[in-house]
Chain A
Amino acid sequence: MNPIYLDNNATTPVAPEVLDEMLPYLRDLYGNPSSMHTFGGQLYKKIEEARAQVAALIGAELDEIIFTSCGTESDNTAIMNAVETFPQKRHIVSTRVEHPAVRNFCKHLARKGYRVTFLPVDSLGRLNIEAFMKAIDEDTAVVSIMYANNETGVMFPIHELGEILRERKILFHTDAVQAVGKIPIDVKTLPVDMLSLSGHKLHAPKGVGALYVRKGTRFYPYIIGGHQENGRRAGTENVASLIGMGKACELAMQNLDKEIVYLSSLRDKLERTLLQNCPDARVNGDIEHRLPNTTNISFEYVEGEAILLRLNEYGICASSGSACTSGSLEPSHVLRSMGVPFTCIHGSIRFSLSRYNGDAEIDKVIEVMPSIIQKLRTLSPFGKEKIKV
């Protein structure tokens, strides 16, 4: 059974073009780019080509892109850089709905004596701007706010926040791992100082990421060792994957406009039909400001893991914010921060699409979902009165 893969915010399939581009560097061209012989040294050029492709996707300059091993490393590096840059400043501002790569790193710094403000969001997952304005002060070393939420797809007003922070001369980092390649981003006009991206969210392989650092921003390396990446990130380059990430960014750039239209229409069809055909279902998040590929739907009175395992029987891959799938016994911190009611929170399902999804796949989900929900509801002790109506 071919999977119907609707979990692209978790990871994406490697694009065939990307794999083709990478294979020679996994087989024959295994040299070390730092070597003094042509066999290795020629790879350096390929890495710079990849860097140019990544830079082009977000409108950056070549030397503003540092390759890393993943989105998490990019996030950690960015925040640590700010802390190193302003050793006298002891305050960090972030949000309650960040990815663990930012959230837990901020908590780690809180244990080391930093004051961390996690900004609240409203019931649609929108940032509380008033709280933001109150939080930032002279002691703030960095503000780290995600571009788009991985669970709901809700996008924060990074441009507006950036303008305020630029005026206050506060360093601004955005975790754009879910946004890059899905919506247009241009750092020439976007007022951020640092921006994280990840390869495997845009059809490159796992284990490669990048950090954009605006020219003129001080930079302290996080991983220390050799002179790679101009001394800004040590460690022998993951050559094939960097090349793959470059190719993936090039493809994303070529396809971006038509993919936005394609994915949002596919997603909207899925969302609209599921809401029509499944009673007591609701969308989580601000649908006006959302990634084109993501929908997060709560099915009341049923539990997410049970839904996922029944979907799994049809080869349908999605994810859930329920406690049973989080590995921590607690349901999604994102949905809890939004104040999603407990009758809904355990039954939340995220579908996240990619260019490789087709109409027939969406139709299959639409076909099987109502009966899955109905079956689980007849098993559930809750919500009976409402269903009988």
Chain B
Amino acid sequence: MWDYTEKVKEFFLNPKNAGEIENPDAVGDVGSIICGDALKLFLKIDKETNRILDAKFQTFGCASAIASSSALTDIIKGKTLDEALTVTNQDIADYLGGLPKEKMHCSVMGREALEAAIANYRGEEKPVEAEEKIVCECFNVSEEKIRKVAIENHLTTVEEVTNYTKAGGGCGTCIPDIEAILKDIWAVKAVPEKPKALKKLTNLQKIALIQEVIEKEIRPRLQGDGGDIELIDIDGNRVIVGFRAMCVACPMGNVTLKGIEEKLRELVSADIIVEEG
């Protein structure tokens, strides 16, 4: 049985914004009944301000697919289209208090439906299917999608790619192709990212940057393994964090602390010290 959060259960049992919008301004239709999940997103958009006035969904799928759809509509209502496009699949998962890692593809489906709906509104053409290179035949997943989702979510293993896109989860024939794509992505990315000289920061900038790195770089990775941390305090160069979820009982706690410290030293300041509070 899946370990769903209370939030997921709540959004599944009492979904918000379920249904159709009559005469919608935009529709995003992704997934298929064959693959086992599908989402149709309807938007009502204010033409003057480009603001999303209403969002509704119809979803065929499991509890986390329905909950993700519901969460998505909740998140984007009231946002402008440009603001809505900054919503990531991780935002959808976070809104639900996290999803089991095998179910992350449900949040990706939400993000895809949003993109499709906005493209539909803006009259952008959908990429022609024939031009896309399909990597996973079982679930009809393109190379483009694998690259995009892998980069956005820092995916480094085939298993993670399967959890987020379903690619490789069927017959498994495409697993070597997915490995090659991952190798390609991270081999190129790793080089230009390194030599980033750290700027001298004001205290305020430093605190903001530490918060950002923890939220965007560190927590998603820990959550991927069922763990989590909370930033408790920042005192000069001392960063005090508390272990949450699976991290609480994890015997690798010290290794995790060191990892967080390394990341913060790399991205914020070389003299950061991380401690458990």
Contact = CB atoms under 8 A, between A and B. Distances in A.
**Does chain A bind chain B?**
yes
Interface of A: 301-306, 309-310, 313, 322-325, 327-331, 342-343, 346, 378-382
Given A306-B62, A329-B162, A380-B59, 11 more contacts: A306-B66, A309-B63, A327-B102, A328-B169, A329-B169, A343-B33, A346-B36, A381-B38, A381-B40, A381-B60, A382-B60
A342 B35 CA distance: 9
Given A301-B60, A342-B33, A379 B18 contact: yes
Interface string B205-237: 000000000000000000000000000000000
Shortest beta-carbon contacts, A-B, top 6: A329-B169, A324-B62, A305-B62, A381-B58, A323-B36, A381-B40
Contacts of A330: 138, 169-170
Contacts of B59: 379-381
Interface in B1-20: 2, 9, 12-13, 15, 18-19
B58 A379 contact: yes
A310 B13 CA distance: 7
Given A328-B169, A329-B162, A381-B58, A305 B63 contact: yes
Interface residues of B, number: 30
Given A301-B60, A379-B59, A382-B33, A306 B12 contact: yes
Contacts of A302: 60
A380 B169 contact: no
Contacts of A313: 13
Contacts of B15: 379
Contacts, number: 71
B58 A380 contact: yes
A332 to B, nearest CB: 11
A227 B35 CA distance: 51
Interface string B54-76: 00001111110110000000000
Contacts of B139: 329
A349 to B, nearest CB: 13
A346 B33 CA distance: 8
A266 B138 CA distance: 39
Contact of B66 (A331, A346, A379, A382): A379
Contact of B170 (A329, A342, A382): A329
Contacts of B13: 309-310, 313
B26 to A, nearest CB: 15
B34 interface: yes
B61 A324 contact: yes
Nearest to A344: B33
Contacts of B37: 303, 324
A325 B61 CA distance: 11
A322 B170 CA distance: 14
Nearest to B38: A381
A102 to B, nearest CB: 20
Contacts of A304: 62
B38 to A, nearest CB: 6
B169 to A, nearest CB: 3
A242 B67 CA distance: 46
A325 B18 CA distance: 23
B19 A342 contact: no
A310 B19 CA distance: 19
21 contacts: A301-B60, A303-B37, A303-B62, A305-B62, A305-B63, A306-B12, A306-B61, A306-B63, A313-B13, A323-B36, A324-B36, A324-B62, A327-B102, A329-B36, A329-B162, A329-B170, A330-B138, A331-B36, A342-B34, A379-B66, A381-B29
B169 A303 contact: no
Contact of A303 (B9, B36, B138, B162): B36
B51 interface: no
Contacts of B63: 305-306, 309
Contacts of B40: 381
Contacts of A323: 36
Question: Which of A301, A302, A304, A329 has the largest count of B CB atoms less than 10 A from its CB?
Answer: A329
